[in-house]
């Protein structure tokens, strides 16, 4: 049978389909550096490229710390700084059977530790649908709390509720309960990516103090007459030691 015509108004959020199911990664890469090396970052990428193309550089040192004149120059090798970055990444997500995520937490004039104590006390009681809590923690860079119970099967009924009223102090607050997902990397492919403004210097002998060698390198590579330019940062690792360089996203 025919139904009467009815006007409807759609109220919702539209999204770009291409942006769905995408994972945003923020680079934070720790890269080991051998002894006798240095990382130098220039303000301009074209300067770094010019230094790499020249390949070998003769750096003049301060003779104040050296006895022999021929030791006042050292040769170093300039090579591109390439670090592995993910080109393809697949993550298999599985919900935890013992953990829940708590969000929409109230902003109260108490410490985070005190709030964790209140939440643990509430969710450890069976009358509230909980059980003995194994661990609790605020997630890094988040206002969400992850609660983990000692036994399985407690999380699912709480997640089905979606929200729960939690008494804290003199008030009662509606807290959101969400599933806690565990992610396992099932496929990871890497490809080298060159840092456009950074150069790796190798073969630096241990003939000066760390500070003096760092100054000598910076003086040499900031001179336009030697192919250099303005230096943004320089890190030096003396021979016999090792270092770790931390790479983050270039926002310039």
**Measured distance CA(38)–CA(245) in Å, rounded:** 10
Q: Name the CATH topology of 90-186.
A: Alpha-Beta Plaits (3.30.70)
Strands (E), the chain: 28-33, 37-42, 56-60, 73-103, 133-138, 145-149, 163-168, 171-202, 231-237, 243-248
Task: Map out the domains of the chain as residue ranges.
Answer: 28-87+193-248, 90-186
E-only strand ranges, 104-170: 133-138, 145-149, 163-168
Q: What is the pLDDT of residue 140?
A: 81
- Is 0.85 surpassed by the pTM of this model? no
Q: Are 26 and 32 in contact (CB under 8 A)?
A: no
Separation of CA 212 from chain center: 32
Neighbours of 221 (CB within 10 A): 26
pLDDT at 181: 86
| pLDDT tens track, the chain, 252 positions | 455 666 666 666 665 655 555 666 677 788 899 999 999 999 999 999 999 999 999 998 865 544 554 458 889 999 999 988 888 878 888 888 899 999 999 988 899 999 999 999 999 999 999 999 999 999 887 889 999 999 999 999 999 999 999 998 889 999 999 999 888 888 888 888 889 999 999 999 998 889 999 999 999 999 999 999 999 999 999 999 999 988 877 766
User: Other CB atoms closer than 10 Å to residue 4's CB: what's the count?
Assistant: 4
Model pLDDT, residue 230: 95
């Amino acid at each position: 049978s025919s139904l009467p015509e009815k006007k409807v108004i759609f109220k919702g959020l539209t999204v770009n389909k291409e942006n769905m199911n995408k994972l945003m990664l923020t680079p934070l890469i720790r890269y080991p550096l051998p002894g006798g090396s240095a990382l130098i970052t220039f303000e301009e990428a074209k300067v770094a490229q010019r230094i790499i193309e020249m390949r070998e550089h003769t750096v003049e040192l301060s003779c104040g710390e050296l006895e022999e004149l021929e030791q006042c120059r050292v040769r170093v090798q300039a090579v591109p700084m390439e670090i592995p970055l993910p080109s393809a990444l697949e993550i298999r997500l599985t919900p935890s059977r013992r953990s829940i995520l708590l969000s929409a937490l109230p902003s109260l004039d108490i410490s985070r530790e005190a709030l964790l104590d209140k939440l643990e006390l509430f969710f450890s009681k069976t009358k509230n649908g909980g059980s003995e809590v194994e661990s609790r923690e605020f997630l890094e860079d988040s206002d969400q709390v992850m609660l983990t119970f000692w036994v399985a099967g407690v999380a699912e009924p709480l997640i089905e509720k979606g929200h729960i009223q939690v008494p804290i102090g003199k008030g009662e607050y509606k807290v959101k309960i969400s599933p806690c997902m565990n992610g396992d990397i099932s496929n990871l492919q890497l490809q080298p990516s060159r840092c456009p403004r950074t150069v790796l210097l190798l073969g630096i002998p241990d003939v000066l103090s760390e500070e003096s060698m760092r100054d000598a390198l910076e003086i040499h590579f900031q001179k336009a007459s030697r192919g250099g330019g303005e230096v943004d940062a320089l890190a030096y690792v003396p021979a016999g030691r090792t270092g770790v360089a931390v790479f983050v996203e270039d926002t310039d």
